[in-house]
Structure 1
């Protein structure tokens, strides 16, 4: 974990962290990302952080509190707003001739984001099904910042006759589930496989567009 990454995480915290708290959080991120929350013990985190296990519980009453101290003030203030606002700036303020071009820009941009924030992303993907707090913050950010822009550009393409008039929620759900399925397989299920990201992007776009074009129009 490089210094820039650690600095960003520390800046995302609402309160100042002591040196020991910072070491505990950084070690927890690394181990949670590698082994998963359930399979990680506080003794492992303490050993990697170079502190006594009791020190963890003085700062974080439970292991769940430690997880949320990473996900809520850290990832949710750093990654999710960045995901929403930066994606809008990088993608939706550009003009694309075809919907396929937008998909390529979206998928490429998000893969770069995932690779630049992989430990935190892995934690969220591994734990989102088990923690309602993570689900709520992700849902709120997506619905407020990302979904309206996606809806806007899809409507524009449909009005231009460049995209079939398939239900917009279905197009968004189908596109995002295809992308997220790849991210989960690529970075969690089969991280050691030899991946050709460019080929995978091409295949995802073909799969999504074929699904939309073969679907029943409104």
Structure 2
């Protein structure tokens, strides 16, 4: 049975279940429902998970879910929305902050630090990442939440880094937002592949990372 002090819970789940920001504390059954839903949504996707499965894994009656959440979609949003608004954004900015504040001799060094930082973050919060990636294309409300609470803050800080490298003549003269888009697109392609690829025996992570960095640098170096 899932418990809110389960050592297997990811860091973001511990914060969500703790409700330490003044929000009403979850009941034990609510905590089990949320934890079970996170596991199933990550394993099978939102569409592939039923409320009966969630109830069974949480050790509660299915009707208990609907006493707390009107629909399965409400349950999804009760997980993902606060994770992005109250947890994901601080996590991204808090754990990414050192990377953005450090002085780098080249954009290549910055890319390496950024990739290593985000991989470490995703390894600790894999379920959250899977749920967001799986549902993001199909949930416009989630897209708006992500843009408002996460993307806008990260881009604002990234632009400061990019502007410095451009001023030093280390990057071609493209709009900073374009440099960010090109860089992030390539990095996320690498991250998504290493996260979801089925046959890890054919995946050479170091070679793929180096190829990604080389690809970006060839396109952005003056």
TM-score (normalised: structure 1): 0.89
Residue 118 (str. 1) matches residue 134 (str. 2) = no
- 2:200 maps to 193
Structure 2 residue 38 is the aligned partner of structure 1 residue 32: no
Matches within 5 A, 1:88-167: 89-167=97-175
Describe the shift of the 1:150–1:74 C-alpha distance in structure 2 as closer, same or farther (beyond 3 A).
closer
Tell me which residue corresponds to 1:2. Answer: 8
Match of 1:61 in 2: 70
Cross-structure match for 2:178: 170
2-structure distance, mates of 1:119, 1:179: 19
**Runs of at least 4 residues of structure 1 off by over 6 A?**
none
- Equivalent-residue separation in structure 2 for 1:77 and 1:175 (angstroms): 27
Secondary structure at 1:43's aligned position in 2?
helix
What CA distance in whole angstroms lies between the structure 2 residues aligned with 1:187 and 1:177?
15
Q: Does structure 2 conserve the Cα–Cα contact (< 8 Å) formed by 1:84 and 1:141?
A: no
Q: C-alpha separation between the residues in 2 aligned to 1:33 and 1:210? A: 36
Distance (whole Å) between structure 1 residues aligned to residue 183 and residue 171 of structure 2: 14
Matched, 1:51 2:51: no
Q: How far apart are 1:75 and its partner, in Å?
A: 4.1
**How many Å separate the matches in 2 of 1:81 and 1:3?**
18
Query: With structure 2 as the length reference, what TM-score do the two structures score?
Result: 0.88
**CA-CA distance at 1:90 after TM superposition:** 1.6
Unaligned runs of 5+ in 2: 1-6
Q: How many correspondences in the alignment?
A: 212
Are the aligned partners of 2:55 and 2:65 in contact in 1 as well (CA < 8 Å)?
yes
Question: Secondary structure of the residue that 1:129 maps to in structure 2?
Answer: helix
Measured at CA, do residues 167 and 74 of structure 1 come closer, stay the same or move farther in structure 2, by a change above 3 Å? closer
Given that 2:34 and 2:79 are in contact with CA atoms closer than 8 Å, whether structure 1 keeps it comes out as yes
